[in-house]
Amino acid sequence: MEDRESLSAAERKRRLRAELMQARAAMPESFFREAGEALRRQLESLPAWREARVVFAFLSMAGEPETRGIITDAAEAGKTVLLPRCLPGGHMEALPFSGWDCLVRGRFGLWEPEADSGPAPAPDLILVPCLAVSPTGGVRLGRGGGYYDRYLARTAGTAVCLCPEEFLREGIPAEETDVPVEWIATGRRWIRCTGPEKGKTRGE
């Protein structure tokens, strides 16, 4: 019988990622629409959301809570909305969102702002996707590219992971390159993460 503790953090993450992606794929689209609406309402109660002038958001992929309503709310509230643009080497940059008709297909077929969208101010609030996140340490499991960890490591601003209750997981394997988030929004409650279980702290 295989001893899971003997596996490397990278291998345990790979297996957990595959398990979670399968679980998300089996859930109906209505779950993610409803989760997105719950998160949309919940964000309005966060002081960091109300006070933020610049919000870094993300366009949801299949198997993620719908975020178009959140992006629309931020833009209509007069906030500057930034969206990610994936770059070679596992990096991404934040570019201004200027409307749904100004998005283009980028790497991996994702919708993102055009490269010449103009300069982007530093975000006050960063909304982060995940497959799962630890409610204790704020360590998140993404899709394996490391894009958000690299971005968070060099970017200030309050990081909020959007994660339905069904995908909270304690003991997510962490590596030195993992950057934890400060807050988790589940659509039902706020979770203030107490600190990293391992990995980097913000600003390192």
Residue 22, pLDDT > 50, answer yes
Domain boundaries, the chain: 4-192
Percent of the chain beyond pLDDT 90? 73
Within 10 angstroms of residue 46's Cβ, the number of other Cβ atoms is 16
At 4 the pLDDT is 55
The per-type count for the chain, helices as H runs and strands as E runs, is 5, 11
3-state helix, strand, coil in the chain (%, to 5): 35, 20, 45
For residues 201 and 102, the model is more confident at 102
Tell whether pTM > 0.85. yes
Q: End-to-end distance of the chain based on CA atoms, in angstroms?
A: 39
Q: In the predicted model, is pLDDT for residue 1 greater than 70?
A: no
Q: Which tokens sit at 182?
A: 């400060």
Q: Which three-class secondary structure string do you get for 74-102? A: HHHCCCEEEEEEEEHHHEEEEEECCCHHH
Cα 61–chain centre separation = 11
> What SS3 state is found at 103?
strand
What residue type is 37 in one-letter code?
E
Helical (H) or strand (E) element with 20: helix 9-25
User: Residue 119's pLDDT is what?
Assistant: 81
CATH assignment, 4-192: 3.40.50.10420
